[in-house]
Each structure stands twice: as structure tokens, then as C-alpha cells.
């Protein structure tokens, strides 16, 4: 496929890749250029039903496949992903706009989840105890649920799908993946590689579309569990609709992550971490450090250096030979929303001290660019303080002391991540015990977890009980069975033979 060809994305159902020329489509952009590079079909209820039925038909055989054999599939898959790693990263960069360095980092996090799934024989081990009563033994086993669904966002085209289907399949479930209609190409490549690794027919299926496709998955009677990552409003809808229809649901939502900067923070390292947390991936991640709470004289110590660092960030197309420091946001509409929120903050009384609203690249005049932006003197009543911007915008809010900073952070409806930069063990301990967030960083700006730990958002950042990744992920994709056993015979049981 040449750079100017528009690809029609296929579905993958019952082991076959199929194009659906009769369905309506939506465009997939290269956000660095503002060009359409693919068309994705809006799958109907009938197509969704085909995918779920294929997964349901494949489940009995896959469930009975020994965990060691399922693990071997993922050892082969890991090798193929590693061999095609550069191709995956280039595709992430092309359809999403991440720099190649960012694409590599996120894809590597996905690879770690494949590696975690390779350990499934140990992860599925249960407990046992002899003689819970005379002659009675007890054991637990973890068994798969059935057909599981993954609905993934645009901001991590490789990593988030890999959060879901490797562990779900390794646990013995079958799967239907609905990637974001904005970035379907990476997901298609990932499943093509899984097919090469030896994926049995029907065990994993791929459909595309928007709300109608999602609703068909949420209400299908043969779907047992749903994993979702996206905005909080949609996460709440997914959770409520899915659970109302009898599904197990883990729905990760948005965030407003606070980074507290204490007066004693190491300035160079804090500035570097703040810039990475706020502007990395163009701010399009739910763990972005979107608000700096500067305590006391901390603002005077860090802001000048932070503004210099932000102004030095070069914005441009990520498909160019010379890589920029930051790429575009996902669509023109999203770019306009980010810009309007900054302007609204200024109207409401905040001070823009680093302005990225005029970002433009001569080599890519149609790219969806927003430069690194810092808005100072934001107050909690402002729109910028309440809404998730999901762009390269850092709010600065000035606090008198740590107590005020923690109290403000804890008033947020969200609860994904929070961080503190300090050299004080006392301040760090106070912060980590009191702050209301599922993931906490101490001198770590983006406290996102690795595959062996759960991704633990709280409050409006997560709807459900069992989180994505780690042992909670295994628990989500399995159900526990407790077995009590007694064998009758001589000298066995509560009544001894005389």
C-alpha cells in the first residue's frame, strides 16, 4: 500500500478476514498530515452477532486446551511481535501521531503484557488444603468465563488491546475486539501476527464501528465480560449498560491527575518529569500530569525553567525522517476543542505563560498540531480545572501548603493518578497515605503500572471491581470454583470403622 492509498479495514470473524463493501464507513486519518489513510466499516448487529457466535462456538475447545499449550501460543506470538516491532511502531505513529520513541515505549508496555500472559500456568494455580474435615479435602480452580469483549481507545493503538486479549485468551476465554474506529490499523496488524502464531479459528474476532456496534456487544446474550478504556462518560455508560445486561465489566475512564511540587523539590528533575507528564504523547493519555499544584515558593523555583523546556519542544509530523519532540493530536475537532479550552481559561482569568495555540509546521500544513501550553493562576472554579483537556496543556494552581494541595486534589471527581515531587520523606508519606488516587508517584511523574500490577483507577476514573492487568486481570477473566472431596472407604470419614 502506497502512502496515498486509502485502505478499507476488514473484519476478522471465524478465522477469515473479510471486507464489507456494503457498510457505511468512517475515515481514519494520518493526523500528522490531515490525510485520510483508511476507511473503517460501521458494523451492523448482524456482523457483531456473527463475531460473537464464532467466539462462542470456539470456546469449548479453547477452554479445554491445556494452559501450557495456550502459553506456548503466546511465546510464539511474543517472538513475532518482537520481530515486527518496528513495523508496529511505525503504524502506531502513522495512524495516531505518536513520535516513534513514544510508539516504541507504549508498544513495549504491550509486549510486557504478552510476556505476563506466557506465565498463565502459574497464574491459574489454585489453593488446596487436606482434611478441612475428617477425610475431606478442598481445592480451588480458576475457570474461564466464555466470550469476552475488548473495546479500546484511540490513544494507545497497540498497548491497550494488548492489555486485554492476551490475558483473556491465556485464561481460556474467547474474544471479540472492537478497536477504536480512529486507529484500527495497528489492531489489525496485531491480530494478523497472532494468526501467524497459530491462533485457532474463532478464538479471537475483530469488528469495527461506533455506538451501534458497541451496544450490540454490550447486550449480546453470549457475551460474558467486557473490558473498556476511554472517557469517563462512556465508561459509565459501558458499565451501566453491560452490568444491566448481566456482564462482568471493567471500564477505565478519564482523569485529572495532579502533580504536587514542594518547595524542596529537585528543580531540574522536576521540570523534566513535569514536561514529560504533561506533554508526552501530546497529552493524550489518561495518566497525563495535567495540573501542577505548586506549594509555597515552588512556583518561583520551577516555572521559568518549565516554560523554557516547554518552548523548546518541537512539534511536527511524526512520519518525517527527522522526528519532532511532540506530534499532533488525533483529529482537527479534538485540536479545536483543546484550543478552545485554553482560550476559555484565559477568558476566565488564568494566565497563559507558554502558548502553543499557534503551532504550525510548514512541511505538514494540514497536521492537527497544538504546541506545549502552560496556563498559570488557574483556580478550581475554572473550566480548565474541571474538565479533562486530553491535550498538551498544563494547568498551574498555587497552593499555600501540602494540606491545601491534598484537599484540592481529593475534591476531584476523578482518581487515576497523583504524584508529588519532594525531598521530604514526611511530605511524601503524608501524600501517599492521604491522596485519593489509585496510582501514586513519589518523584515519578507518570506512575503508570507494569503488566504484573493492576491499573488501579478510582472514582470516576474506573467503573467496576477488578482492574485491568496483573492478578486482578486474571481474576476478572476467570471464575473461581471451590471443590470439596470425600472418598468413602476403610478408616475414612467422620465415623471410624472399628
Catalytic residues: 286
* 63 φ, ψ (degrees, to nearest 5): -60, -40
As a whole number of angstroms, the distance between CA 251 and CA 239 comes to 6
Report residue 472 as a C-alpha cell: 486482578
**Helix 85-96, helix 100-118: angle, nearest 10:** 130
Contacts of 219 (CB under 8 A, 6+ apart): 241, 245
As a whole number of angstroms, the distance between CA 222 and CA 208 comes to 19
First and final C-alpha spacing in the chain: 83
Q: SS3 letters for 79-124?
A: HHHHHCHHHHHHHHHHHHCCCHHHHHHHHHHHHHHHHHHHCHHHHC
Cβ-count burial 47-62 (b if 16+ within 10 Å, e if not): bbbbbbbbbbebbeeb
Rg, Å, the chain Cα set: 24
Report residue 395 as a C-alpha cell: 494547568
Contacts of 338 (CB under 8 A, 6+ apart): 329, 370, 389, 390, 391, 392, 393
As a whole number of angstroms, the distance between CA 292 and CA 313 comes to 19
Asked whether the CA dihedral 343, 345, 349, 354 is positive or negative, the reply is negative
As a whole number of angstroms, the distance between CA 166 and CA 204 comes to 10
**Per-position DSSP letters for 287-329, written without gaps between them:** T-EEEEEEETTHHHHHHHHHHHHHHT--B--TTSSS--SB---
As a whole number of angstroms, the distance between CA 418 and CA 410 comes to 10
Nearest Cα to Cα of residue 67 among 127, 144, 177: 144
Report residue 428 as a C-alpha cell: 511524601
Amino acid at each position: 500500500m502506497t502512502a496515498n492509498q486509502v485502505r478499507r479495514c476488514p473484519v476478522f470473524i471465524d478465522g477469515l478476514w473479510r471486507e464489507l463493501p456494503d457498510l457505511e464507513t468512517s475515515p481514519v486519518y494520518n493526523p500528522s498530515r490531515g490525510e485520510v489513510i483508511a476507511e473503517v466499516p460501521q458494523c451492523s448487529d448482524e456482523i457483531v452477532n456473527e463475531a460473537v457466535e464464532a467466539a462462542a462456538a470456539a470456546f469449548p475447545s479453547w477452554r479445554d486446551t491445556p494452559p501450557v499449550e495456550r502459553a506456548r501460543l503466546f511465546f510464539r506470538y511474543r517472538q513475532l511481535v518482537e520481530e515486527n516491532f518496528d513495523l508496529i511502531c511505525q503504524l502506531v505513529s502513522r495512524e495516531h501521531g505518536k513520535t516513534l520513541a513514544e510508539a516504541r515505549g507504549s508498544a513495549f508496555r504491550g509486549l510486557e503484557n504478552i510476556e505476563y500472559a506466557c506465565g498463565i500456568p502459574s497464574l491459574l494455580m489454585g489453593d488446596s488444603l487436606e482434611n478441612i474435615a475428617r477425610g475431606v479435602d478442598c481445592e480451588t480452580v480458576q475457570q474461564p468465563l466464555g466470550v469476552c469483549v475488548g473495546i479500546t481507545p484511540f490513544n494507545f493503538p497497540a498497548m491497550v488491546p494488548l492489555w486485554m486479549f492476551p490475558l483473556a485468551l491465556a485464561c481460556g476465554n474467547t474474544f471479540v475486539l472492537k478497536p477504536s474506529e480512529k486507529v484500527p490499523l495497528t489492531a489489525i496488524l496485531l491480530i494478523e501476527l497472532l494468526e501467524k502464531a497459530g491462533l485457532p479459528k474463532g478464538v479471537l474476532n475483530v469488528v469495527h464501528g461506533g455506538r451501534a456496534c458497541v451496544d450490540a456487544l454490550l447486550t449480546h446474550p453470549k457475551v460474558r465480560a467486557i473490558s473498556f478504556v476511554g472517557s469517563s462518560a462512556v465508561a459509565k455508560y459501558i458499565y451501566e449498560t453491560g452490568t444491566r445486561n448481566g456482564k462482568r465489566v471493567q471500564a477505565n475512564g478519564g482523569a485529572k491527575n495532579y502533580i504536587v511540587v514542594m518547595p524542596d523539590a529537585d528543580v531540574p528533575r522536576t521540570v523534566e518529569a513535569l514536561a514529560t507528564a504533561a506533554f508526552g504523547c501530546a497529552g493524550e493519555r489518561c495518566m497525563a500530569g495535567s495540573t501542577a499544584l505548586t506549594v509555597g515558593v515552588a512556583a518561583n523555583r520551577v516555572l521559568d525553567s518549565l516554560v523554557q523546556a516547554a518552548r523548546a519542544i518541537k512539534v511536527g509530523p511524526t512520519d518525517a525522517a527527522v522526528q519532532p519532540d511532540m506530534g499532533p493530536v488525533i483529529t482537527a475537532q479534538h485540536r479545536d476543542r483543546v484550543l478552545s479550552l485554553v482560550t476559555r481559561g484565559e477568558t476566565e482569568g488564568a494566565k497563559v505563560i507558554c502558548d502553543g495555540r499557534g503551532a504550525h509546521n510548514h512541511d505538514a500544513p494540514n497536521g492537527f498540531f497544538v504546541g506545549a501550553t502552560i496556563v498559570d493562576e488557574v483556580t478550581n472554579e475554572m473550566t480548565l480545572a474541571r474538565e479533562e483537556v486530553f491535550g498538551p496543556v498544563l494547568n498551574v494552581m498555587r497552593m499555600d501548603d501540602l494540606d491545601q494541595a491534598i484537599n484540592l486534589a481529593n475534591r476531584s471527581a476523578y482518581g487515576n493518578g497523583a504524584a508529588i515531587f519532594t525531598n521530604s520523606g514526611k511530605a511524601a508519606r503524608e501524600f501517599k497515605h492521604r491522596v485519593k488516587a489509585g496510582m501514586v508517584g513519589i518523584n515519578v511523574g507518570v506512575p503508570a503500572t507494569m503488566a504484573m500490577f493492576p491499573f488501579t483507577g478510582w472514582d470516576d476514573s474506573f467503573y467496576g471491581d477488578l482492574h485491568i492487568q496483573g492478578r486482578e486481570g486474571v481474576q476478572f477473566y476467570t471464575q473461581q470454583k471451590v471443590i470439596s472431596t470425600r472418598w468413602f472407604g476403610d478408616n475414612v470419614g467422620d465415623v471410624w470403622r472399628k
